[in-house]
Structure 1
Amino acid sequence: MSKQEFGTLTDRGNPMSYLRTFLPWIVFAAVPSGDWQWGSLAALAVAVVLIAQQRRAGAGFDALVIEAGSAVFFAVLAAIAFTDPHSGVHDYSAALSSGTLAVIAAASLAVGRPFTLGIAKRTTPREYWTMKPFVRTNVIITAVWTAAFAVTAVALAVLDHAGHAHTMPATLVQIAGFVVPMVFTVRYVAHVQAKARAAAGHVAR
């Protein structure tokens, strides 16, 4: 594999791809907590639109793991919220959101289909999809996202239990839960590319 090919293979740290994937969760977090039923409904609508758009673009369901999981989660949450707006689930909705993402991400690793692989496939030629460097890079990135979601869920659950649900500290924890793995993704991809270029340069000499 040439360094150009490997660069194409691993040039998947584009934050916009991840922002689109996690857009339903961003929308839900942006809606005031007092309107959580409308926030969950809006997030569900966004998830459904994203799935429809990606399916029309030719994406398989293996590339829509997060979006599909998002749709299911927000459908259930919206049903609970509209049935009982004062449900105790409301206080733990942020922790449940991160916990759900952790479970989805972990499940994608367990079945050998890391969810970031699906994101990368959207812009990577099909002949690269089964190459070991491509798969290995995405396994590592997905593992970091999984850990970040799990840590965020635990931290939010602790805050929620202490009566600090939907406060500024909780919001900052949620933001960190996305920003930290995103920064890692961008930097790790850059690191992999740099190593590939160095190795290719060494072979050329």
Structure 2
Amino acid sequence: MLLYYVRTFLPWILLAVVSGWNDRAGAAAGLAAALVLLAQDLRRGHRLDSLILELSATVFMALLTALAFAAPGSSLLDYGASMAIGWLALTAWGTLLAGRPFTEGVGRRGVGDEIAATDLFKRITTVIAIVWAISFTVMALVLAYVQHAAPDGTALLVAVKIAGFTVPIVFTARYPEIAQQRHFARHGIDREAVR
């Protein structure tokens, strides 16, 4: 699971690291990584609904790269970290509003069609998407404040990002098991009989 998140967020990581030296290079590196990862996933036959974050990253990186090259002195580029996380927040909230949380497609990669069709699976993936959306939103707001108030506060920016990603990653790893246990207990289902 951790490898999935590192791979999925690689364009965002490259953007953050390389932009520290050069905004154009950071945006271009993020775009290149997003395109390569998306192409690999499509070649592997992944369904589009499981690639929402990858598609969103590609669109954002393309827009940011265009901005970085068209207006290299734009003050918007000073808020790259908060814009990037804000974009992820919009993506997460948008999928929730559309009734197709991005986590549903991701979760489908690890389960069969029978499980993916259950209400329990849909509830679990929706709750996980809400946690990610809230985390992205809070992180984007805090990053925007830090970038405005202390633009050279690199350690604080990194700490906010680490906390902002750690919370939903840990929640995503633990919540499905907890939700299943509650569901089985509530319905008097013997968990061993289900396996």
The alignment's TM-score, normalised by the length of structure 1, stands at 0.84
1:39 aligns with 2:21: no
SS at match of 1:85: coil
Structure 1 residues 127 and 95, CA gap change in structure 2 (3 angstroms)? same
Which position in structure 1 is the counterpart of 2:13?
A: 26
Which stretch shifts more, 137-146 or 55-64?
Answer: 55-64
Question: Which structure ranks higher in relative contact order (CA pairs < 8 Å, sequence separation ≥ 6)?
Answer: 1
Match of 1:146 among 127, 133, 143: 133
Q: Give 5+ residue unaligned stretches, structure 2.
A: none
* Pairwise CA distance, 1:35: 1.5
Residue 194 of structure 1 and its aligned partner are, at CA, apart by 3.8
The CA deviation string for residues 23-73 of structure 1, in whole angstroms up to 9 with x for no partner, is: 211221222513121111111111111211111222222111111111011
159-168 or 183-192, larger mean C-alpha shift: 159-168
- Equivalent residue letter for 1:15: L
Are the structure 2 counterparts of residues 171 and 194 from structure 1 closer, same or farther at C-alpha, using a change threshold of 3 Å? same
Instruction: Say yes or no: does 1:88 pair with 2:104.
Output: no
Q: Post-superposition shift, 1:163?
A: 3.6
Map 1:156-195 → 2, pairs under 5 A: 156-164=143-151, 167-195=154-182
TM-score (norm 2): 0.88
Contact 2:146-2:153 at 8 Å conserved across structures? no
For the residue of structure 2 that corresponds to 1:17, the secondary structure is helix
Residue 15 of structure 1, CA deviation: 2.4
Aligned to 1:62: 49
- Residues 203 and 49 from structure 1, CA distance in 2 versus in 1: closer, same or farther, beyond 3 angstroms? closer
Whichever residue aligns with residue 119 of structure 2, its letter is K
Instruction: In structure 1, list runs of 5 or more residues that go unmatched.
Output: 1-13
For residues 136 and 182 of structure 2, what CA distance do their matches in structure 1 show?
Answer: 28
Structure 1 residues 96 and 165: CA distance shift in structure 2, 3 A: farther
| 1:125, distance to aligned residue in structure 2 (A) | 1.6
For residue 137 of structure 1, what is the amino acid of its counterpart? I
Describe how 1:1-16 pairs up with structure 2 within 5 A.
14-16=1-3
Pairwise CA distance, 1:175: 1.8
**TM-superposed deviation, 1:130:** 1.8
Report the 3-state secondary structure (helix = DSSP H, G, I; strand = E; otherwise coil) of the residue aligned with 1:138. helix
Name the aligned partner's letter for residue 155 of structure 2. M
> Is 2:158 the partner of 1:200?
no
Deviation, 1:83, is 2.6
| Identity, % of aligned positions | 40
Is 1:128 the counterpart of 2:115? The answer is: yes
Between the aligned partners of 1:185 and 1:202, the Cα distance in structure 2 is 21
- Residue 77 of structure 1 pairs with residue 52 of structure 2: no
CA distance in 2, matches of 1:130, 1:161: 45
Count of residue correspondences:
191
Q: 1: CA distance between counterparts of 2:192 and 2:104? A: 28
1:105 aligns with 2:98: no
Alignment check: 8 A CA contact 1:101 1:149 kept: yes
